[in-house]
Amino acid sequence: MGFLFEPGFFSSGPVHTAAAIGTVTAIVSAVVGVFTVVRSQSFAGHALTDVATAGGSGAFFLGLSPLVGFLGGGVIGAGAMDLIGVQRVRSRDLATGVVLGAATGLAALFLYLDTTKSATTGATQQILFGSLFTIDPSTVPVVVVLSLATLVVIGVIHRPLLLTSVSAELASARGISVRTIGLLFMLALAVAVGLSSVAIGSILSTALLIGPPATALRTTRTVRHAMLGACALGIATTLLGILLAYDSFYWDSSAPIPVSFFIVALSFLSYLASGLPIVRRRVGRREAP
């Protein structure tokens, strides 16, 4: 085992925090992500991380807590996307794109003001890429509570949400307000994505939101199985990524490879593997277009 776990892995404080936050965000991302992939809203799921980042850099400039900025930015962005028309399939792409464009403009301004305001370097890289190893342990309880709240919201609306995702006509015939459910989902997505991008950076946020769910949906037959599979895969990917990043410090201590790289690479590879003909034959299921 010695060659696998470099010394101090199990006793390191940052590793504990990283593992705890990583596991929580992996679970929330998996649950929200399954719906995101089924509803074909991956673009919105990714764009909200950038929108939340704009909020985070704005909060940095105003001296507010970054968590407030990330969550506020995400929720405002989700509201704007809904206003422009993210609920209609035809204008979904455009609504997301317009909001994303405006948000990156704001991010450019705030990041510029941040770097001129304070001499601390690393703001750009920290906000954009984040790192599991530099999390402030005091944010852990807040992240856990808000994650639970997101899971509860998804749990309450999961049946109508699934129906509206599969067939909006059928759902409205049953008296479900497709618009309200769509907005609730977008807000839950914004909170989940805002949390994960402040905790683990925006790259990892999208990787965990889309990677494990897309892989699980390809290899299982029911949504419930997909959700469980996505949770397991997300947690496994995160912990393995943390281990590899920790070990990489011992390969070459002058330039350790970032933890995000390992987690993203593992999710990407598992998605590619789930598309291999041998896996597809075993599952015996063609993915719905």
Of the candidates 115, 142, 179, 236, which one interacts with another protein according to CB under 8 A? 115
- Residues 207-226 vs another protein: string with x where CB under 8 A? x-xxx--x---x--------
Query: Does the footprint of another protein cover residue 261 (CB under 8 A)?
Result: yes
Distance of CA 191 to the CA centre of its chain: 10
**Distance (Å, whole) CA 11 – CA 4:** 15
Q: Whats the size of the chain, residue-wise?
A: 289
* Number of chain residues interacting with another protein (CB under 8 A): 57
Burial class (CB in 10 A: 0-12, 13-18, 19+), 80: middle
Of the candidates 16, 40, 136, 279, which one interacts with another protein according to CB under 8 A? 40
Query: Does the footprint of another protein cover residue 239 (CB under 8 A)?
Result: no
- Closest CB to another protein among residues 45, 182: 45
Cβ atoms of residues 61 and 113 within 8 Å: yes
**Distance (Å, whole) CA 230 – CA 270:** 11
Query: Does the footprint of another protein cover residue 284 (CB under 8 A)?
Result: no
Q: Tell me the one-letter amino acid at 178.
A: V
Cβ atoms of residues 210 and 46 within 8 Å: yes
**Distance (Å, whole) CA 191 – CA 70:** 9
Residue that the structure tokens 């497709």 belong to: 178
Query: Does the footprint of another protein cover residue 256 (CB under 8 A)?
Result: yes
Query: Does the footprint of another protein cover residue 4 (CB under 8 A)?
Result: no
DSSP 130-167: --GGG--GGGHHHHHHHHHHHHHHHHHHHHHHHHHHH-
Query: Does the footprint of another protein cover residue 118 (CB under 8 A)?
Result: no
| Contact region with another protein (CB under 8 A), list: 67-75, 116-124, 143-151, 161-169 | 116-124
- Residues 75-114 vs another protein: string with x where CB under 8 A? ---------x-----x--xx-xxx-xxxxxxxxxx-xx--
Query: Does the footprint of another protein cover residue 193 (CB under 8 A)?
Result: no
**Distance (Å, whole) CA 208 – CA 119:** 33
Of the candidates 22, 45, 160, 229, which one interacts with another protein according to CB under 8 A? 45
- Closest CB to another protein among residues 176, 248: 248
Which residues form the interface with another protein (CB under 8 A)? 37, 40-43, 45-47, 84, 90, 93-94, 96-98, 100-109, 111-112, 115, 121-122, 124-125, 128-129, 203-204, 206-207, 209-211, 214, 218, 255-258, 260-261, 263-265, 267-268, 271, 275, 287
